Chains A and B, each alone.
Chain A
């Protein structure tokens, strides 16, 4: 089986059409970034506190908002997270101006005030297994007696079991959910059903980035990305020629800009994992570009005197089936991640779903034409100098 066998497409002939199309797309992306709506920074770069909460039933976002705004701290934004049936939301709150500190506890308290709980009862959906164990040991529904430590030992397997259930399901709906847990004695079950509080929500994750760390993360991310692009440029310069290195870097910027534009349009946040995804895309795009450059270099050695534009077309055609197969396969993998991978890696997969398409295209129509244009311009200058 073979696809794209012996193609003779004259890619470079149409290069200007594509360059114009790319320029337009890039200008749109730049407009989206600098004119509006601009990046939606995630908690890593924007700072603030972000909670991922799971509710027992479909949460009333208005009540969540009212509860948190009553704290009068910073701007609150709330959005649903993952499939609707999971009842999960992301809550982000800015730290009050320039303040460092831990706001998680205060946000949780405010939510408890609105949705119930926080009155000193055992909190099945918020407290850890140690707290459950101690609470049970103190109440001692099984009447085991003895010292406190003996009672603790008795209730530990039960609290671990309850915690295990919460780990599996995310949130425990009520005392009925505990019925199937064999290690719990009937007395314990009825005690929990009467005295424990099965809160409306559970905390799945909390992230809090203060202004100092936020600034740090921004700066370090910029350094890391700039230096790695520079390293790449120098390597390609050394192995090929400067114009090829520049072509590859411009292609990287092109891919990154378009993908950033797509992130803005789909209202996805920019945070550290997104940066990792963008770096993956850059790595992928460069790989693709280098494969084509390599073939160009090889052809140039074999067939001296042929015009560069023809050599480029031949090289792109020769590697076309490889380009399509590799891109297609990688694209299928990230598409699987995008569809089935869940919300946590969704943005990562999205970046690559866009990025692989753009990255493959840019190797042919951005990196190569720039190398071509610069080479031709350098040649002309050289000839002109010789004539002088």
Chain B
């Protein structure tokens, strides 16, 4: 008997030591969810069709370029309605050899059907892989941006293995609007040759009889006064083909323009520098437009040969210039992004709710503890020890599992504590019943525990079974509830059955004669 008790106490001590090890220090080990601590939770969708369209456009332009170069410029070049391919009419005299070569060279990833019109549709497996790449690249880009922004413990994950959704969780962020802009910003930078500039769109297209030439596009830009305030708009006719784009960047950082206003300077990688260098030296005196996210930021005149660096000016705040430099460094998103879900909890709301919830919870627990002492006297101490141990083990388990404690998670904890109290009540009531039937103290304790045992197992397992399903099928908050509930119930079984019984038996074994029991 003595040896068995020693073994039981040993186990309890080991488990407790582990729990304490995993729960301390509390603020490091117990991660509070965003609803309690404040922060931002985003679910975003990568619009993967954008990436597919870019791929199609790219192939389309190459086909146009190749055929035009050979003197057989195609007509009626356009995307098919679902955007997964394009069609064109080769000029009648296009030689089969040229067409074959272009198709072989440029359309390897397309299923090509030839007739009067040639239709090229991306192969389904290629579409799938483009979409998958877009999500993965988007994930990588967002991760880069968030890392550079310096958020501690960010969670950036793809939702599901094949989905196009990304979950971003950033605890403790105090300026959610800025972070959201930062993540969503496509930051697509291009430098394009300027054909002409005009104050209105009509004036811009007046010389080309209102039509936008096929190789050009109209892009607008803000006019700023000397203090950097926007005073109007002007329109640019730009060549579609860009001289360089964001992909050619090596680095970007915040800097100042010649008036001391915030700006972003960038340097180019060798390939970009090569293209930029040869273009600028051939076009001295021309204007080029720095286009960011389809808006002309500035359109400086080329004064001389520029090789590997440049500056983006125009109406930035310091933070704006810094953010732009950051996203340019981190790379452009391969596709646009839509926010499907946002949950922002300001730091003050989170803290307030934790404090008030904790106070109320403690008030409740003290009530329970006092009642147990008054109603069950000596045995009440027993129950309270088991309860405290329950709390310690639960915190330890949460720490060890690296789980996050959310508001619904606390609901799980409350149910757990309720059931732990219930287990003790079940046992004590049973012992009282057995004592009443005239059993000896030792017998009554043994019977009380063994009879209540079946009930405790049944109640706990029923709830654990349902909690497991909740875990399997539930989303965020429901999952959090299921986790603390399952773990808590397992612990509650241990404390109510094993720990509480060990305390009882230790007490009984200390006394030679046990005629009475404080219960």
Which A residues contact B (CB, under 8 angstroms)? 1-2, 52, 54, 100-102, 104-105, 108, 126-131, 134, 137-138, 148, 163, 166-170, 202-210, 212-213, 216-217, 220-221, 223-225, 227-232, 234-236, 239, 272-273, 275-277, 279-280, 282-284, 286-287, 290-291, 293-295, 298, 318-319, 321-322, 325-326, 329-330, 332-337, 339-342, 344-345, 348, 352
Residue of A nearest to B410 (CB): A345
B259: min CB distance to chain A, Å: 14
Q: How many chain B residues have a CB neighbour from A under 8 Å?
A: 83
Residues of A contacting B361 with CB < 8 Å? 333, 336-337, 341
Q: Are A326 and B421 in contact (CB under 8 A)?
A: yes
- Evaluate whether A232 and B368 lie within 8 angstroms (CB atoms) in the complex, with A100-B339, A295-B455, A337-B360 already known: no
A235 and B465: CB pair below 8 A? yes
Stretch of B13-21, B66-74, B136-144, B456-464 that contacts chain A? B456-464
Pick from B191-199, B206-214, B244-252, B346-354 the stretch touching chain A: B346-354
For chain B, residues 465 to 487, give those with C-beta under 8 angstroms from any C-beta of chain A: 465-470, 472-478, 480-481, 485
Once the chains are docked, how many angstroms separate the CA of A307 from the CA of B508? 40
Interface centre among B361, B375, B408, B462 (most CB of A within 10 A): B462
Q: A330 CA to B209 CA in the complex, in Å? A: 81
Nearest to A297 among chain B residues (CB) is B454
Nearest Cβ in chain A — how far from B39, in angstroms? 11
Top 7 A-B pairs, shortest CB-CB distance: A128-B175, A333-B364, A276-B408, A342-B356, A228-B466, A128-B174, A228-B469
Complex Cα distance, B180 from A272, in Å, reads 24
Q: In the bound complex, do residue B485 and residue A210 qualify as a contact, i.e. CB atoms below 8 Å apart?
A: no
In the bound complex, CA of A185 to CA of B419 (Å): 55
Interface assignment of B177: CB less than 8 Å from any CB of chain A: yes
Q: A130-B319, A134-B319 are in contact. List 18 more A-B contacts (CB 8 A).
A: A54-B348, A102-B342, A129-B174, A224-B470, A228-B467, A277-B411, A280-B412, A294-B458, A295-B455, A298-B451, A321-B429, A322-B422, A325-B371, A330-B422, A339-B360, A344-B356, A345-B356, A345-B357
Q: How far is the CA of A283 from the CA of B374 in the complex (A)?
A: 28
With both chains docked as a complex, state the minimum distance between the C-beta of B34 and any C-beta of chain A, in angstroms: 10
The answer to whether B318 and A276 touch across the interface, beta carbons within 8 angstroms, is no
Residue of A nearest to B40 (CB): A206
Residue from the list A213, A228, A282 in contact with B340, Cβ < 8 A: A213
* List of B residues within 8 angstroms of A225 by Cβ: 470
B475 contacts A334, CB within 8 Å? no
Q: Which residues of B contact A235 (CB under 8 A)?
A: 461-462, 465
Answer whether A329 and B368 are a contact pair too, CB < 8 Å, given A287-B462, A341-B360, A345-B407.
yes
The smallest C-beta distance from B78 to any residue of chain A, in angstroms, reads 28
- Asked if B43 is at the interface of the complex by the 8 Å CB criterion, the answer is yes
Cα A212 to Cα B411 in complex, Å, equals: 27
Residues of the B chain whose Cβ atoms lie less than 8 Å from the Cβ of A279: 411, 466, 470, 478, 481
Q: How far is the CB of A276 from chain B (nearest CB, A)?
A: 4
Contact of B470 among A166, A228, A286, A332 (CB under 8 A): A228
Known: A204-B348, A287-B422. A224 touches B474 (CB 8 A): yes
For A332, the closest partner residue in chain B by CB is B367
A316–B418 CA distance with the chains assembled, in angstroms? 20
Complex alpha-carbon distance, A333 and B127, angstroms: 56
CB contacts (< 8 Å) of B174 on chain A: these are 128-130, 163
Asked if B349 contacts A227 (CB within 8 A), the reply is: no
Please tell me if B311 contacts chain A, counting CB pairs below 8 Å: no
Q: Check B343 against A204 for contact (C-beta < 8 Å).
A: no
User: Which residue of B340, B346, B451, B478 contacts A204 across the interface (Cβ within 8 Å)?
Assistant: B346
- Whether B429 contacts A1 by the Cβ 8 Å rule is no
CA distance A341 to B357 in the complex (A): 5
**A137 B318 Cβ-Cβ under 8 A:** yes
Q: Quick one: given A220-B474, A235-B465, A333-B414, are A205 and B349 in contact (CB under 8 Å)?
A: yes
Interface of B is mostly: helix
B398 within 8 A of A: no
* B475 and A216 form a contact (CB under 8 A): yes
Partner among B344, B365, B419 whose Cβ is within 8 Å of the Cβ of A333? B365
> For residue A348, which residues in chain B have a CB less than 8 angstroms away from its CB?
407, 411
Nearest to B356 among chain A residues (CB) is A342
Bound CA–CA A373/B345 (angstroms): 51
- Which B residues have a C-beta under 8 Å from some C-beta of A? 43, 45, 173-178, 180, 184, 317-319, 322, 338-349, 351-353, 356-357, 359-361, 363-365, 367-368, 371, 374-375, 407-408, 410-412, 414-415, 417-419, 421-422, 425-426, 429, 432-433, 451, 454-455, 458-459, 461-463, 465-470, 472-478, 480-481, 485
In the complex, what residue of chain B is closest to A337 when comparing beta carbons? B360
Q: What is the distance, in angstroms, from A346's C-beta to the closest C-beta of chain B?
A: 10
| Alpha-carbon gap, A120 to B144, bound state (A) | 29
Q: Which residue of B lies closest to A287 (CB)?
A: B459
B106 CB, nearest partner CB in chain A, Å: 35
Q: Is the CB of B426 within 8 A of A212?
A: no
Query: A-B contact count, CB below 8 Å?
Result: 277
Interface pair A283/B458, CB less than 8 Å apart: no
In the complex, chain B residues whose CB is within 8 Å of the CB of A220: 473-475, 478
Residues of chain B lying within 8 A (CB to CB) of residue A205: 343-346, 349
Known: A101-B339, A228-B469, A342-B356. A275 touches B478 (CB 8 A): yes
Q: Which of B407, B415, B468 has the most CB of A within 10 A?
A: B415
Q: Is the CB of A280 within 8 A of B415?
A: yes
Taking A276-B478, A284-B418, A344-B407 as contacts, is the C-beta distance between A131 and B363 under 8 angstroms?
no
Q: Which residue of A lies closest to B256 (CB)?
A: A148
Least Cβ distance of B420 to chain A in Å? 11
Residue contact A322 to B429, C-beta cutoff 8 Å: yes
Cβ-closest chain B residue relative to A229: B466
Could you tell me the distance between the alpha carbons of A234 and B341 in the complex, rounded to whole angstroms? Answer: 36
Determine which residue in A225, A332, A337 has the highest number of CB atoms from chain B within 10 A of its CB, and name it.
A337
Q: What residue in chain B is nearest A338 (Cβ atoms)?
A: B360
Q: How far is the CA of A94 from the CA of B357 in the complex (A)?
A: 30
Contact pick for B347, options A167, A206, A334, CB 8 Å: A167
Please give, as numbers and ranges, the residues of chain B lying within 8 Å of A344 by CB-CB distance: 349, 352-353, 356-357, 407
Contact B455 A325 (CB under 8 A): no
Asked whether B478 lies within 8 Å of A325 as measured between CB atoms, the reply is no
Q: Give the nearest-CB partner of B363 in chain A.
A: A336
B322 to chain A, nearest CB (A): 8
Which listed residue (B349, B419, B473) contacts A224, Cβ 8 A?
B473
Q: For A273, give its contact among B408, B454, B468 (CB under 8 Å).
A: B408
Residues of A within 8 A of B352 (CB): 170, 342, 344
**Residue from the list B176, B343, B363, B475 in contact with A340, Cβ < 8 A:** B363
Closest to A339 in B: B360
Chain A positions within 8 Å of B432 at CB level: 2
Taking CB atoms, residues of chain B closer than 8 Å to A163 are 174
Among A322, A340, A352, point to the contact of B425 (Cβ < 8 A).
A322
Q: Nearest Cβ distance between residue B8 and chain A, in whole angstroms? A: 26
In Å, the complex CA distance between A319 and B428 comes to: 11
**How far in angstroms is the closest Cβ of chain A from B159?**
10
Contact of B455 among A134, A221, A291 (CB under 8 A): A291
Shortest Cβ distance from residue A29 to the other chain B in the assembled complex, whole angstroms: 22
Query: Please, how many angstroms separate the alpha-carbon atoms of A138 and B367 in the complex?
Result: 55
List B contacts of A291 (CB < 8 A): 422, 426, 455, 459
Instruction: From known contacts A52-B349, A102-B180, infer whether A239 and B458 are also in contact, taking CB-CB under 8 Å.
Output: yes
Q: Which residue, A130, A205, A239, A332, has most C-beta atoms of chain B within 10 A?
A: A205
**A276/B477 in contact, CB under 8 A:** yes
Q: Is the CB of A212 within 8 A of B363?
A: no
Q: A294-B454, A322-B429 are in contact. Are A128 and B346 (CB under 8 A)?
A: no
Query: How far apart are B397's CB and chain A's nearest CB, in angstroms?
Result: 18
Q: Pick the contact of A290 from B177, B371, B458 — CB < 8 Å?
A: B458
Contacts of B346 in A (CB 8 A): 52, 202-205
Nearest CB in chain A: distance from B66 CB, A: 39
Whether A283 touches B466, Cβ cut-off 8 Å, given contacts A137-B318, A336-B367, A341-B360, is yes
Cβ–Cβ contact A102 & B339, under 8 A: yes
